[in-house]
Structure 1
Amino acid sequence: METDEDLLTRSIREPEAFELLVVRHSGALHGYLSRRAPGAADDLLAEVWLQAFTGRGTYDVNRGTSRTWLFGVARNVLAAHRRRHERDARALPGNEESSDPWHAIDQRLDAAAVAPLIRHTLAGLPNVERELLLLVAWEQLTPSEAAAVVGIPAGTARSRLHRARTRLRAALDSTPSLSLTGDFA
């Protein structure tokens, strides 16, 4: 079976080879986008694939796997979407729609009592720490892959991920009868 990196490289000469990458990674990328922008995930996924296809010649195998490259493209598309959304919201007087990306977290947590605490703790984390934590917990990327997505060295990512996990663990430990389990631990 041909690797993703081989397909990406081959797609420069044979554009139809890119289709298998779409098949292999659309589910994971859609999940990433839908957890962060539920109402726009389908459109954003289309934009990710358009940008990835257009920019496939910029992929550098020495900077990480094609999977991390694709998540990096998705992260950039999402950031552009949020900037547009915030700019549009500011331009329309009386627009009460929230641009809070953490609203979707409340809908996915089993313990309603824990949701506000986790949301508050995540919102208080520096952006890079929050993104690293969510890439590892939700997208099941390794810390090194998450580092490549956000564009920082792997060692730096590991220390920031540790710091984020420690903050989240401390917040949960400060609440009686709650403990941190699962992918965040």
Structure 2
Amino acid sequence: MAEPAATIEVADSFVIQRSWQDPETFAVLFDRHGPVLHRYAARRLGPEAADDVVSETFLAAFEHRHRYRPDEADARPWLYGIASNVIGKRRRSELARYRAYVRGGVELAEITGGPVEDGVGTLAVNKPLVAALAGLRAGDRDVLLLVAWVGLTYEEVAGALGIPIGTVRSRLNRARKKARQALGETDHG
């Protein structure tokens, strides 16, 4: 009895190069990365805007796929960079969302992407943290959330946002410092 063939997942860079001749191949990237990009966009802008962000992200990626660096096997950082730019066009919506949470108009699970483990204790900590997110510069917030929510490395964030790695480090340091200050004020208030 023959064993079933193993599924071989080809590198994203190969899929992108293949899509130059066969554009329908690009759909593999959507199937592969669309759901996680959707979760990221939903956390930042809400579920109602996430579909549009993902659509715009993949449309831009498809239109600029000839610019993709073939030495990068994983397209996630590139796609998150595009998504961050798309979200950047909606900064007001993102900030309004964070402010609505702080005022009590948005559920924490919508922002964190999951259920809150300890509703009472977590709300006391997260309101100042969400307020701190709202108070960050756009670039600092992008770096912090790509590291904290997506799990990209500093190098991947630098590539995603088209900034030097030193800038990633300084933005992340600044964002973390503001978050710590926001949480520290809760301890003393």
| TM class by smaller structure | 0.7 to 0.9
Greater alpha carbon shift after TM alignment, 22-31 vs 142-151: 142-151
Equivalent AA in structure 1 for residue 10 of structure 2? E
1:128 equivalent in alignment to 2:124:
no
Equivalent of residue 28 in structure 2, options 7, 20, 27: 20
More relative contact order, 1 or 2 (CA 8 Å, 6+ apart): 2
Contact 1:44 1:77 in 2 (8 A): yes
Shift of 1:118: 0.7
Structure 2 gaps, min length 5: 1-8, 117-121
Q: How many residues align?
A: 165
1:53 equivalent in alignment to 2:54:
no
SS for the counterpart of 1:100 is: helix
TM-score by length of 1: 0.76
1:100 equivalent in alignment to 2:96:
yes
Equivalent of residue 17 in structure 2, options 6, 9, 25: 9
Tell me which residue corresponds to 2:38: 30
Shift of 1:153: 0.5
Contact 2:84 2:142 in 1 (8 A): no
Note the aligned Cα RMSD (angstroms).
2.8
Instruction: Give percent identity, aligned residues only.
Output: 40
Per-residue deviation, residues 1-46 of structure 1 (Å, max 9, x unmatched): 3101111111111222212111110111101111122111112212
Change in CA separation of 1:106 and 1:125 when aligned onto 2, cut-off 3 Å: farther
Structure 1 gaps, min length 5: 87-96, 178-185
